[in-house]
Amino acid sequence: MKLKEVINAFNDLAPVHYSENWDNPGLLVGDEEKEISSVYITLDATSDAIENARKKKADLILTHHPLIFHPVRRVSSDNYVGRRVMKIIACDMALFTMHTDFDVTCMADEAASRLALIETRVLEPTLSEDLGLGAIGYLKEDLSLEELAEKTKQAFDLDNAAVYGDLEDTIVKVAVMPGSGSSAIDTACIEGCDVLITGDISHHDGVDALEKGINIIDAGHYGIEKLFIPYMKDYISKTLPDLKVFMDDSVRRYTVL
C-alpha cells in the first residue's frame, strides 16, 4: 500500500486542515509513493521510539506530537531534531503526525467517553460549535472529587493523579482537556464546571483555580493523550487491515513516585 493511501485514511478520520494554524501535523518525513506494510504508533518520535520502530522493521512512524515544530534551518547531527530526522531517513522510514487535527475530531470525545460523561459538548470551539478542543459533560451519578480522581486513574490507566480541591466536594459537571489545559481553566469556570481534568498544571495555576471556584485533577500530559496510541491502532486495524501495527514500547524516562 502506498503511503499516500494511508495518509488519505488518516485524513478521513482527522483532516489535516482541521489543525490549529500554529501546529505542524501531516507528513513530516517521507515520500508519499513509499510502500507501507507496517506502522509504529507512539506519542512522540523520541530516539527510543525511532530505534524500536527500526527494530520492528516499521515503514511508518505515526505520532501525536510533531517532531518538527519550529522552522528548521538545517538537518544535521548537532541537534536532536536533526539526529532523529536523519535516523528516520537512514532507516528508510516515514514520519506522519496527527496533532490538533486529531484533538478536535477524536481526542476529547474519546476522553469524555472513557469518563462515561453524558450530554457532552465541546469545551473550546475552534472550527465550529461541534468541533474544538476539550469536552464538557455530566457524570451519570454525582461523585466526590476523590471518587472522580480514582475513576480518572482507572479510565486512563494511571498510577497517580494530582488533585487541587476538597476531596469531599460533590462533582456533577466535568470539563476534560487532554494535554496542557491551564488555558482552559477560565472557560471551564465560565461554563460552571465543578472540575477540570487535564495535564501540566503548575502549583500556581492549581491554587488560582481553587480561588476561581473550580477543582483540578491533573492526570498528566502523557497520562490522557496516550489514548492516541490504542485509538489509532484500532482505527488502522479496521480501516487498513493489511497493515501490521505496533504500539509504542519505548522507555519512559519520567516517573511520578
Identity of residue 241: P
Is the same domain home to 54 and 71?
yes
- What is 12-24 written as a DSSP string? HHS-GGGS-TT--
Beta bridge mates, 124: 133
**How far is residue 141 from each of residues 112, 154, 171, 174, 201, measured CA to CA in Å?**
15, 17, 9, 12, 26
Query: What pLDDT was estimated at residue 78?
Result: 86
Same structural domain, 132 and 161: yes
Instruction: Determine the pLDDT at residue 251.
Output: 58
Residue 82 phi, psi dihedral angles, 5° rounding: -60, -45
Do 176 and 118 lie in a common domain?
yes
CATH number at residue 185: 3.40.1390.30
- Which ranges in 103-199 belong to alpha helices (H)? 108-114, 145-155, 185-190
Does residue 180 sit in the same domain as residue 214?
yes
Q: What is the pLDDT of residue 72?
A: 84
Q: Examine residue 105 and state whether it is found in any structural domain, yes or no.
A: yes
Q: How many other CB atoms are there within 10 angstroms of residue 249's CB atom? A: 12
Per-10-residue mean pLDDT of the chain, 257 residues long, equals 98 97 96 98 96 97 96 87 96 98 97 98 94 97 98 96 97 97 97 97 96 97 95 98 92 56
Backbone angles phi, psi at 188, to 5 degrees: -60, -35
Say if residue 47 is in the same domain as residue 123.
no
| Rg of the chain in Å (alpha carbons) | 19
Q: Are residues 148 and 186 in the same domain?
A: yes
Same domain, 68 and 121: no
CA-CA distance, 67 to 53, in Å (whole number)? Answer: 15
Structure-block grid coordinates of residue 29: 518525513
Quick check: is 257 in a domain? Answer: no
pLDDT score at 55: 97
Same domain, 124 and 88: no
Q: Is position 252 within any domain?
A: no
Q: Are 170 and 84 part of one and the same domain?
A: no
Number of domains in the chain: 2
State the residue range of the domain holding 80. 3-100+226-247
Domain-embedded: residue 207: yes
Q: Is 95 helix (H, G, I), strand (E, B) or coil?
A: strand
